[in-house]
Amino acid sequence: MRHVTLGLTLILALAAPLAAQQQPGAGGGPSEGQLASAEAEVPRLIEIVQLKPGMTVADVGSGFGAWTIGFAEAVGPTG
């Protein structure tokens, strides 16, 4: 349980400053910069929380969904 709590604490600490990048860009969709940023962030977040196929993850407040897709790919069809 301590690992889960530590993992969630790390995610919240990392996600707070990054959350602004998850807001829609001009025109309502993500900008190229936002997509590039999410592409770089998702592997780091997956590594930090040690996501594996079959695990369950919730991307609460998912913004435009760029992290959600990466997380879904990490946990696979059984996650």
The residue ranges of every structural domain in the chain are: 33-79
Q: State the pLDDT at residue 32.
A: 86
Tokens read off for 33: 């910069």
The span from the CA of 22 to the CA of 62, in Å, is 7
More confident residue, 8 or 43: 43
The span from the CA of 71 to the CA of 51, in Å, is 8
The span from the CA of 44 to the CA of 54, in Å, is 19
More confident residue, 34 or 17: 34
Q: State the pLDDT at residue 29.
A: 75
Phi, psi of 7 (to 5 degrees): -60, -45
Q: What is the rounded average pLDDT of the residues 5-23?
A: 56
Model confidence band, residue 78 (pLDDT cutoffs 50, 70, 90): very high
Global confidence as pTM = 0.59
pLDDT in tens, 18-64: 555 555 555 667 788 888 888 899 999 999 999 999 999 888 887 78
